[in-house]
Structure 1
Amino acid sequence: MKTRNGWVEIDGVRYDHDVVVHTDRSVTKRHKKPSKRLKSTYGHTPLSGVELGFLIHEQPAILYIGTGQYGDLPVTPDAEDVFRHYETVVRPTPDIVDLLKEEPRPFVAILHVNC
């Protein structure tokens, strides 16, 4: 796994958009459409609680949130409320990518690839 501004590479596949790494290690595009309505409030589409409903089905041992190359992805209070149900690490995406390389437990990672 590696990342630079604008992309993340997972298992040899480069993604130029935000991704979710699921507990089965599959990768899907982050569906941020539910959070877009908050863009004017945060100046950037934040990670909001409405995006995190899928976690109840996955039950990760740990949740990783990659907040972008420079850590600028806003996180809403309702997302932080969801975090309280999981062991959660919120850091810039490069830091998260490094942690994921060594993580043996089932995890979910939401990785922002810009800012």
Structure 2
Amino acid sequence: MFYQQARRSFWRRHPVITGVAALVTFWWLANGWYEAVAVTAIVGLLLFVSRRRKALAIRDAGLRARADYEYRLSLRGDQRGVFGRYPPVQAGWFPDPQNRCQIRYFDGVMWTPHAVGR
């Protein structure tokens, strides 16, 4: 898998755990246990940073694998290796982006001034 789906945030995936953690934090603050709150926050931050680094390393490995795959395709002369997943749009008549009642000629690079009614 080269691309990952975006995940929802932790508190949206686990609302009960987040609520209990917030209640415990408020209870600790009300009782004056500031050191416990600080230690818990530091440990949580360290866990977040380590998991984020791991996720970025996995993403970068996937991107490197995709680039290597496309490079090997381009060496063989396959067009997928030249353009990647999204080949360029071919020239032709398409609906005009500014006027839906017309079609305009796209030359493969840019829109031309040639337009006709539908």
Higher strand share: 1
Under TM normalisation by the shorter chain, which class is it?
A: under 0.3
**Larger relative contact order, structure 1 or 2 (CA cutoff 8 Å, min sep 6):** 1
Higher helix share: 2
Q: So what's the TM-score if we normalise by structure 2?
A: 0.23
Highest CA radius of gyration, 1 or 2? 2
Q: So what's the TM-score if we normalise by structure 1?
A: 0.24
